[in-house]
Structure 1
């Protein structure tokens, strides 16, 4: 083909950007069965730059070869396809293969033909998913440069949109991970993990929160807490003073808190999160370069989700903590009415949790038993003082009345639909049932007794025997263990008895931590 026909230099070569090269070349497939076309295309585009990046031309001399190139490379920005190669519609077949077989919607496809009548432009544009159709005589040097700019700009923008889509998917996934973290400590670790994922980093990070609303991080007391730390920041995990964090980070935190916004620096990012209730938290992440515009957008979206989640977790923790305190206070009130120490309910709670975990229950189940077990004797509020406070042994009638406390407790707590109180009702009603069926109030036996009732029964008796009561002195540990072993399979679940024996050192430490 005549060079002048292919690239007539009607207006001179257009000037291209001389920007500094900032990335890998744009990869362009040239598919044509005429070697001169490849030679001239390379010559004309030799100095071409777009967005500071060169063009890498990949040659294919047949439709079959072009399909192989496309199948092996998913980063082809543009495909210049001759319509007629080894067959009359080879280029059209390649276009169909790219879109339909490879499902590639990103590569910009430009068909070139020296025989316009072979494949009429209107029909081709309507039938095939291509981006432009050119007669080879149209492609002067200037117009080829214009085509390259327009087509690569289109490809770049599509890639940016796809990057945003993928980034938003990451934000959604990251947010889901944070939302499902459940506990504040797990939430904090999830925040660090997902932020570094969003930025594609494996770097140092520090996540802190104010201990009081509205500016506690920069008041005179410098009170704050580190929620999570990674990398070089792990050494700051136990820091409880604002003044003890590195000066660079402290200054960044102060600026972010003063300006009430996130900040971006050359090699680190300071995230600022606040909520309607006034709580504030700060995030430091070390980077290898200034975050891109997309990084900033994703971080701001993510930061909003983090702030909302953090606030919800704080509210939930506050409710749970209030609930725990109320349960302990109620349990302690019952124990004090029985002339017993309030520390008993705390010890029973901790021992019950330990037994539950060693038994194989999940941490959530064990935690629920710990929270509900202090309510085991709540039914005693319905027992008359004359019976409840009697220092000696109860007679038959008094003992009958005393036994009713189990059912009274179950009835009181059973009216609630809350998990803790529902389990508390089970524990209150079953902690005096016995493994052999001789207990009360319902004579349940073996596995018919709820595991929470079996666990609390053992923890309650173990701790009660080791404590002073109005009717007895505390027993020595050896005597307690002897009795409990004798009652394995009678009063107590034998598997739980063995767990208690095997973990007696840990259980003893619990008793020492919460003395009478």
Structure 2
């Protein structure tokens, strides 16, 4: 179970007090009446009215047509005092129907007031139109008008509270869903930052940082790393450590780590989350508006789910990293046995992932290709040294022995029911097949060859050409590319060759990241 403690809020500073006494936005009231005197009297009578710390702002419309124009530009009208007879005998009633039907506005309170009750009998109007009150102008004394305002505005306030809670709940569900959909810690951290601001409806800037225990990831033990930052904090490098952060950010994070709890200030919060296995993560946010009690409650709910997800992602990433490392260790062990130096298996994995993504494979399948591709030559473990490391061209008998590595690799990996090893088995078996059917071990052709086999065939040959081997010197990169282009439609899937050349900058970047290190 994840521990999450939120500290009591600090006493308000003078800045906080100023915020607390800030003048609130007024209630917006629209008067729709063709008699100017009605507007003047209403505003005069209600000039000193105040409800829930907010005064009134009046909008004047002298016809239903004017009211429609105003309603098209304002979403904050709380109350409409609506006359019935204006440009037509039923202009007010038609407007009421327009508000509820065409505009789909069920929040604004509509009080119908008429000087000609015979034109719109009360029982008929209340039954047939979605209005909230019906008054004859002659009965609206100051006391009764004040009562109408209190009743209508209180109702509008409560409706908006319910609506805001509904929207907040939807935002929190959406936010948690998007965070859960993150597939790694980087995306997770970015999603947290994006969704906190979305959740609260505030503009927010900040960063996510993490300090993980030896259990979760020993290479990061004891260090706080920045996982993600919003645009305002983009100057912070990913993986930047605590002591290099701006002083105000560093002090806030140190306080949360020292006290092992979250804290809130009017425009800033630091969330502290510690999991049962000892991982610590921090969420630092600066808001455009003060964080009120309801926003704080939402943050607590959201952050509890964030902490649980974070813990799961840490464990998943550790398992995936262990799996990737194991695959590379096996691939590199085979590579060293064949006396090949450098980072061949890593480059083949990255080139294959690049081509898989370009070919339109789903993101999960791209990752599977990246992890399985380094196993393409695992069958060489069963090839005798005299064949594997012969510094000259193989004779016919030796070549037949060498070709068996495809079958050996398939049989080794196919015994597992794990998806990566199953895909590795296919790749080991098919990466020497040719598009024109002249390959081995089964002489498959075209799309009979699995897409992963076709991808790794291209990646493997390109990298083998530019790498040093016991039987050859490395080719120049451009010479190798010329060979690949010539073999499109013969040895290689022509569409994959096209995709490779369209992404040549990314291909060259892989060689910069994983250069050969001569023994």
From 467, 472, 475, the counterpart of 2:473: 475
Q: CA shift at 1:226, angstroms?
A: 0.4
Deviation by residue 1:447-495 (Cα, 9 ceiling, x = unmatched): 54445334434554566677777xx455254599579839953656687
Q: CA shift at 1:49, angstroms?
A: 1.9
Q: CA shift at 1:43, angstroms?
A: 1.6
Name the TM-score, length of structure 2 as normaliser.
0.78
CA distance in 2, matches of 1:150, 1:86: 29
* RMSD (Å) for aligned C-alpha atoms: 4.2
Q: Which residue of 2 aligns with 1:134?
A: 135
CA distance in 2, matches of 1:205, 1:463: 42
SS of the aligned residue for 1:225 comes to: strand
Deviation by residue 1:107-162 (Cα, 9 ceiling, x = unmatched): 11122345656655444433332222334454332232222122112212222322
Q: Which residue of 1 aligns with 2:28?
A: 27
Q: Which residue of 1 aligns with 2:351?
A: 354
CA distance change for structure 1 residues 102 and 279 in 2, over 3 Å: closer, same or farther?
A: same
Counterpart check, 1:95 vs 2:96 = yes
CA distance change for structure 1 residues 46 and 191 in 2, over 3 Å: closer, same or farther?
A: same
Give the conservation status (yes or no) of the 8 Å contact 1:215–1:257: no
Give the conservation status (yes or no) of the 8 Å contact 2:209–2:224: yes
CA distance change for structure 1 residues 500 and 377 in 2, over 3 Å: closer, same or farther?
A: farther
Counterpart check, 1:433 vs 2:436 = no
SS of the aligned residue for 2:473 comes to: coil
Alignment of 1:98-113 (within 5 A): 98-113=99-114
Q: CA shift at 1:78, angstroms?
A: 0.7
Q: CA shift at 1:55, angstroms?
A: 1.6
Deviation by residue 1:331-385 (Cα, 9 ceiling, x = unmatched): 345456xx325866x4233145236636934694654333112211333455578
Counterpart check, 1:237 vs 2:240 = no
CA distance change for structure 1 residues 386 and 143 in 2, over 3 Å: closer, same or farther?
A: same
SS of the aligned residue for 1:150 comes to: helix
Q: CA shift at 1:322, angstroms?
A: 1.9
CA distance change for structure 1 residues 46 and 334 in 2, over 3 Å: closer, same or farther?
A: same
CA distance change for structure 1 residues 373 and 34 in 2, over 3 Å: closer, same or farther?
A: closer
From 487, 500, 515, the counterpart of 1:512: 515
Structure number with bigger Rg: 1
CA distance in 1, matches of 2:502, 2:153: 72
**Structure 1, unaligned stretches of length 5 or more?**
1-18
Q: Which residue of 2 aligns with 1:322?
A: 322
Give the conservation status (yes or no) of the 8 Å contact 1:348–1:456: no
SS of the aligned residue for 2:515 comes to: helix
SS of the aligned residue for 1:235 comes to: coil
Deviation by residue 1:305-337 (Cα, 9 ceiling, x = unmatched): 43233233223212211221222233345456x
Alignment of 1:239-388 (within 5 A): 240-257=240-257, 260-335=260-335, 339-341=337-339, 346-354=343-351, 357=354, 360-361=358-359, 364=363, 367-381=367-381
Q: Which residue of 2 aligns with 1:421?
A: 421
**Structure 2, unaligned stretches of length 5 or more?**
1-19
Give the conservation status (yes or no) of the 8 Å contact 1:34–1:61: yes
Q: How many equivalent residue pairs?
A: 489
Q: Which residue of 2 aligns with 1:82?
A: 83
Q: CA shift at 1:443, angstroms?
A: 1.3
Q: CA shift at 1:57, angstroms?
A: 2.6
Name the TM-score, length of structure 1 as normaliser.
0.78
Q: CA shift at 1:60, angstroms?
A: 3.9
Q: Which residue of 1 aligns with 2:4?
A: none
More RCO (CA 8 Å, sep 6+):
2
SS of the aligned residue for 2:308 comes to: helix
CA distance in 2, matches of 1:118, 1:486: 87
CA distance in 1, matches of 2:101, 2:459: 68
